[in-house]
Amino acid sequence: MNAEPDFESFEQAEFTDDDEPPSGGKHSSPVIATDLIKLKNDTTRTFPVSENTKDFIQKFYPGTSLEEWNNWRWQLKNSITTISQLKKFINLNPDEVEAIDNPHHSLPLRITPYYASLMGKSDASDPIRRCMVPTINELFLSPGESSDPLEEGHYSPIPNLVHRYPDRVLFLTTGFCSAYCRYCTRSHMVAKDKCHVGVEAWQPALNYIKTHPEVRDVLVSGGDPLTMSDAHIEYLLQNLRAIKHVEIIRIGTKVPVVLPQRITQNLLRILKQYHPLYISIHFTHPAELSPETAEACARLADIGIPLGSQTVLLKGINDDVNTMKQLMQGLLKIRVRPYYIYQCDPIPGSNHFRTKVSKGIEIIKGLRGFTTGYAVPTFVIDAPGGGGKIPLLPEYYQGEVDGKVILKNYEDKTFYYPNPID
């Protein structure tokens, strides 16, 4: 497992243009043809298809077999990317039409058919629809908003790698996602002319990690790294695991939520070779906790991968205690540990998504003590200007008096803890 990867064999492998994710573009490498081989054990555990999804297929994709529907490449090739396609599924309002037709919106449109099946047809306030469908609000710049609010570019010593914290790096392996969230922190780099896919583009970052022994933790992100081919994923993990001082590898993804069919048996076979491996999954709303997503998470958990959730706090979508509690408790049921709630980053056109910071503190206060501690994530602001993640908590600590610490519990009752005598 720790043998030196054979770069040349990957470069000389047979390629086919048909395998590349649809928005790859001329700057990205095609995936390796061997990734298309269907292993027999791929069919031993099929994905469930909910009744809601079956009705959606019958209505909008008549004649499509469940085998086709459950093929992740079919999902990518049939993704919704134009206004004419989208109009078939939902009744667009004028704000949405104007935004989609406007060339200045920050991100293109892309929604997998599966994820579209969870979206409300007539309700413009539907949480998944609001996360996926552009509105004219994206076109208005508010004070403090910028294309790179975290200043990742300032902490990027070489292309595709961010080294902001002492012992860990962020490896931006691709600019492609299977679905584009309208509040995306990296809207300045995803879906652009350079998708960063390919072993050649990764070499400077891999060499940087090799020559910096302080790096013990690598977060593989993008874009979404699980949209890449099996061969590319294996090459990347093999290279990272071959670096002796890299202790853990993490993958940041929304694939189990928007493209759960991607979690194939062959992908699982690859992933389980490179422990310790962790996966952080971007969840937004309880509506995403479908049988399909539960199966994707079960497959990952069954091969020993710890799963965590990262949720962006969004106005009118998940910014109330009951919604967030339902999401966090539901995540535990599918073996995903709530990890972070993020204050929405101030990217251009994000004002309509961003809540007051006090709302996040209110939600944590409404969770702590009212549900199991496992269901209580950490509320953080990723500080603009490159300050890193700063956790925020309700004021449980009230100070000290007469050698005692004053504490306020989840019921707002006051208690006193005796400090030890020096």
Residue 410 domain flag: no
Among 165, 238, 233, smallest CA distance to 198 is for: 233
Active site residue 181: yes
Residue 415 domain flag: no
Active site residue 269: no
Q: What is the DSSP string of 288-328?
A: G--HHHHHHHHHHHHTT--EEEEEEE-TTTT-SHHHHHHHH
Contact 269, 304 (CB under 8 A): no
Q: Which CATH number covers residue 53?
A: 3.20.20.70
Residue 403 domain flag: no
Active site residue 184: yes
Is the confidence at residue 38, as pLDDT, over 70? no
Active site residue 278: no
Total of domains in the chain? 1
CA distance 335 to 3: 32
Q: Tell me which of 35-39, 118-122, 362-366 is least confident.
A: 35-39
Residue 167 domain flag: yes
Residue 421 domain flag: no
Tens digit of each residue's pLDDT (9 = 90 or more) over 400-412: 999 999 999 999 9
- DSSP assigned state of 184: -
Is the confidence at residue 2, as pLDDT, over 50? no
Tens digit of each residue's pLDDT (9 = 90 or more) over 249-292: 999 999 999 999 999 999 999 999 999 999 999 999 999 999 99
* % of residues, the chain, pLDDT over 90: 71
User: How confident is the model at residue 37, as a pLDDT?
Assistant: 37
pTM of the model: 0.88
User: How confident is the model at residue 204, as a pLDDT?
Assistant: 96
Between the CA atoms of 74, 280, 240 and 170, what dihedral angle is there, to the nearest 10 degrees?
110
Residue 179 domain flag: yes
Task: Give me the catalytic one of 129, 164, 241, 250.
Answer: 164
> What is the average per-residue pLDDT within 46-50?
88
- DSSP assigned state of 259: -
User: How confident is the model at residue 133, as a pLDDT?
Assistant: 94
Residue 231 domain flag: yes
Domain coverage including residue 322: 1-394
User: How confident is the model at residue 231, as a pLDDT?
Assistant: 95
Active site residue 389: yes
Tens digit of each residue's pLDDT (9 = 90 or more) over 152-192: 878 899 999 999 999 999 999 999 999 999 998 887 677 66
Q: Give the pLDDT band of residue 122 (cuts 50, 70, 90).
A: confident
User: How confident is the model at residue 14, as a pLDDT?
Assistant: 33
Is the confidence at residue 1, as pLDDT, over 80? no
Is the confidence at residue 43, as pLDDT, over 70? no
Contact 219, 246 (CB under 8 A): no
Q: What are phi and psi of 281, to 5 degrees?
A: -110, 135
Task: Give me the catalytic one of 35, 73, 131, 177.
Answer: 177
Active site residue 359: no
Who has greater pLDDT, 32 or 360? 360
> What is the average per-residue pLDDT within 53-76?
96
Residue 46 domain flag: yes
Task: Give me the catalytic one of 269, 337, 359, 389.
Answer: 389
